[in-house]
Structure 1
Amino acid sequence: MTSFPNVFKPGRIGRLELKNRLILPAMGSQLSAKDGSVTDELIDYHRTIAAGGVGMVTVEIAKVHPTTGGGVGVTLYDDSYIPGFRRLTEAIHKAGAAACVQLWHAGRQTNSALTGMPIVSASEIACPVCQEKPKALSVEEIHELTQAFAETARRAKEAGFDCIELHGAHGYLLSQFMSPYSNHRTDEYGGTFEKRARFPLEVIEAVRKKVGPDYPIIYRISGVENVPGGLTIEDTKRIAPMLVSKGVDAIHVSIGVYESLQYTVPPMDLDRGFNVWAAAAVKEAVQVPVIAVDRINTPELAEEIIAGGKADFIAMGRPLLTDPQLPNKAMQGRVSEIRHCIACNQGCVDRLTIEGKHVSCILNPACGRGLETEFQFEPIQGQKKAVVVG
């Protein structure tokens, strides 16, 4: 019998049953091709994590329209990309996990040098980090992007993904409309709480119409944005039931925007599970499953959160880079063998954003290098002498 009965109890998101409560969230890897298409390296990366026993693997941000993203994430705004993603979902399924993909538009949190065209947002307000003034979307362009999300969801379903996640967190386009921090419109898509929520709600409606009534939709949201004038937890608790009313089957509660990135990708000086309170608050407001995330890096903490009724599922990102076998080891009683993420952000954040290289991990030299399926640590025989330099 496992020491973590709640973690390894099957759970449902809509009609999709997952074998346990652990989910790999969407994270950038820089392992796709330059055009965002699927590569063998991207497949191997996700297959390795799936084989480690996680319930579901979420593939990184998938661009829904040419106006977003540039050279990050994967691309799914054209049918020509479907065959590559079908190879990816088949590999994830064969390794024993369900497959999800996150649909994304960056809005103002990018720059035209990456996209090759003007960046867009709810209003002509530059992101303080990216520092480029965006074009405010017209109503016609909003409708175009609404359908772009829906068509990308259709492609995801055709490619074999078991569900999709709409990225409405971290200050990206959906949240740019929802937040008074970034939406200063005075038309039907801004001004009041309900009008700011209109675009995300219309996206959900369009996606639901396109994929049908039974296909699971997850919505990722920042419980708080942690910027002056941004969304608060009370706002999010008010928004969450509205999302569910339009067809969302689960809510994934993250935190922050680019200006508060220290919370979105928390370093080691933030407490483990520091954002669980936000997931628990949202869980009080809705009747669908809630996913908790942020520095939940041990099975013990995951068990405590679920057993305490604070969340239904746990998203583990960086911990599964450090040790893809974490779920299997926990289930098999091999907890002492788990390599734990220390939240240093060197291989998984700095390496991508500063060095422009693919994902790695300082505690797992196999991460992102195509060695995961064969690389194993072997116990030493007898005593060894070691010197640490640096």
Structure 2
Amino acid sequence: MNDPSLNPFAPARLGPVRLRNRVIKAATSEGRSPEGLVTDDLIDFHVSFARGGVGMTTVAYCCVSKQGASAPGQIVMDAKALPGLTKLTDAVHDTGAAISAQLGHAGVVAQKKLTGVTAVAPSRFVNPTSFAYCREIHRDEIFTVIDQFGAAAQVAVDAGFDAVELHFGHLYLPSSFLSPLINRRKDEYGGDIDNRSRFVRQIAQRVRDVVGRRIAVIAKLDMDDGLPGSIWIDEALRTAQLLDIDGTLDAVELTQGSSVFKPMYLFRGDVPVREFARVMPPALRPGVRVMGKWAMGSYPYEDLYMLSAARQFVPVIKNTKLILLGGITNREHLETGIREGFDFMAMGRALLREPDLVNRMIEDPRARSRCDHNNKCMVTVFTRTHCVLDPEQRYGDAAPLTAPMKPAQTEGPAVIS
């Protein structure tokens, strides 16, 4: 490489943290903590990316409260989870990588049958996917959620995380406050974009007050969510600018799409309708097969598919580092991100397919991801997230067909080695 400043594998600082390179494993639903606690399987999952060369791996969707869960088996950031979280961070640190915890509250994405309570939103809202009613969150509850983000961040510090990622995207509760489609409040949290940005700014401020400069604070922010009349880039630029002026964040990871409607706007590529139908209750399967592609949306995949929107943020953000996401699959893409003004690059599906991809790219600049964007990995979140094209992830290690027995003098039954 002729220009050392474009080397994505050189060390870089993220707030108080020094990462060994500029590649971050993006948060992807994991399904590896069925009891809501860290398991050896979850540890192995993140250690695989750490050993594979990433600068930092991100533990996906740690709830700030039980009411903020979006799916079964998610980790709630509380004292009960602390021992396992500490074991997880220690294991990742042993590889030389850093680790971040994504903190979130599901809001309109939460399910009453899971949380036991009616989901909350900035204003009364009906989720167009589940048709579930969401009540308007009360003003005092807003302050409670802000406190919960702060408390969850303290758990992350106690557990040894290097960073927290505040989930301000995909129309989860903080993101839904940014949406004029969902947020129709008449108080100081509704109205123009400055007011609608108040909630995320207060969360970021509380988290920064709690963690100080001990760990990095990142926000995952929607540039647009793909829903007509909802979040779009013009107002997202203003939200990012306000957060930048506040100085509460070390970095912003720019994203798109929602978990409410048309989720393929985030992922792009093949729409796994048949696979989703298989995991639905029998009564819903015909409807999913007929309407699934419409409900999920259909958007062609292209490399660096978020770059055209994300580059609009580069001249606006003065003090906060930027993380590029979306369609990054090779070293050339990483170098393009740096050249375009981004400080870090986040990879999801490509690493799910090949956890060692970063090491491969370091060794061979021509290395390319084997991910073909079939998106069948999306369906595996209902069980245990994995790439369906990787036999070891899908089936586990195979036992040998034959193996030598121990010597005949061994007492008891023969043991296969």
Deviation at 1:365, TM superposition (A): 1.9
1:155-204 CA distance string (max 9 Å, x none): 00110000100000111110111111110111121122222111111111
Deviation at 1:73, TM superposition (A): 5.8
Q: 1:133 to 1:249 in 2, by over 3 A?
A: same
Deviation at 1:10, TM superposition (A): 1.7
Rg (Cα) greater in structure: 2
Deviation at 1:368, TM superposition (A): 6.5
Is residue 396 of structure 2 the alignment partner of residue 367 of structure 1?
no
CA contact (8 A) 1:69 1:115 kept: yes
* Amino acid across the alignment from 1:138: H
**Residues in 2 aligned to 1:54 and 1:368: alpha-carbon distance in whole angstroms:** 22
TM-score, structure 2 normalization: 0.83
Which residue of the other structure, out of 272, 296, 299, is the alignment partner of 2:328?
296
1:209-266 CA distance string (max 9 Å, x none): 1111453110101111221111221111111121123301101001011323112122
Deviation at 1:335, TM superposition (A): 4.0
**Secondary structure class of the residue paired with 1:184:** coil
Q: Which residue of 2 aligns with 1:387?
A: none
Q: Which residue of 2 aligns with 1:196?
A: 196
**Residues in 2 aligned to 1:113 and 1:307: alpha-carbon distance in whole angstroms:** 47
CA contact (8 A) 1:63 1:104 kept: yes
> What aligned pairs does 1:234-245 form with structure 2 within 5 A after superposition?
234-245=234-245
CA contact (8 A) 1:233 1:278 kept: yes
**Residues in 1 aligned to 2:93 and 2:396: alpha-carbon distance in whole angstroms:** 19
Deviation at 1:2, TM superposition (A): 9.7
1:330-350 CA distance string (max 9 Å, x none): 1112744x552111111x202
Deviation at 1:270, TM superposition (A): 1.6
Q: Which residue of 2 aligns with 1:233?
A: 233
Which residue of the other structure, out of 261, 276, 280, is the alignment partner of 1:259?
261
More helix by share: 2
Q: Which residue of 2 aligns with 1:26?
A: 27
Which residue of the other structure, out of 260, 271, 278, is the alignment partner of 2:302?
271
Deviation at 1:305, TM superposition (A): 2.3
Is residue 362 of structure 2 the alignment partner of residue 331 of structure 1?
yes
CA contact (8 A) 1:279 1:291 kept: no
**Residues in 2 aligned to 1:73 and 1:98: alpha-carbon distance in whole angstroms:** 24
**Residues in 2 aligned to 1:99 and 1:116: alpha-carbon distance in whole angstroms:** 31
* Amino acid across the alignment from 1:83: P
RMSD of aligned Cα (Å) = 2.1
CA contact (8 A) 2:256 2:266 kept: yes
Q: Which residue of 2 aligns with 1:378?
A: none
Deviation at 1:207, TM superposition (A): 0.8
Which residue of the other structure, out of 284, 306, 321, is the alignment partner of 2:338?
306
The answer for unaligned runs of 5 or more in structure 2 is 271-299, 399-417
**Residues in 2 aligned to 1:154 and 1:260: alpha-carbon distance in whole angstroms:** 34
Q: Which residue of 1 aligns with 2:415?
A: none
TM-score, structure 1 normalization: 0.89
Q: 1:188 to 1:369 in 2, by over 3 A?
A: farther
The count of aligned residue pairs is 366
**Residues in 2 aligned to 1:160 and 1:43: alpha-carbon distance in whole angstroms:** 14
**Secondary structure class of the residue paired with 2:393:** coil
Deviation at 1:322, TM superposition (A): 0.8
**Secondary structure class of the residue paired with 1:62:** strand
Q: Which residue of 2 aligns with 1:99?
A: 99
Larger deviation, residues 163-172 vs 296-305? 296-305
Deviation at 1:126, TM superposition (A): 1.5
* Amino acid across the alignment from 2:383: K
Is residue 283 of structure 2 the alignment partner of residue 283 of structure 1?
no
**Residues in 1 aligned to 2:122 and 2:144: alpha-carbon distance in whole angstroms:** 14
Is residue 349 of structure 2 the alignment partner of residue 349 of structure 1?
no
Larger deviation, residues 265-274 vs 18-27? 265-274
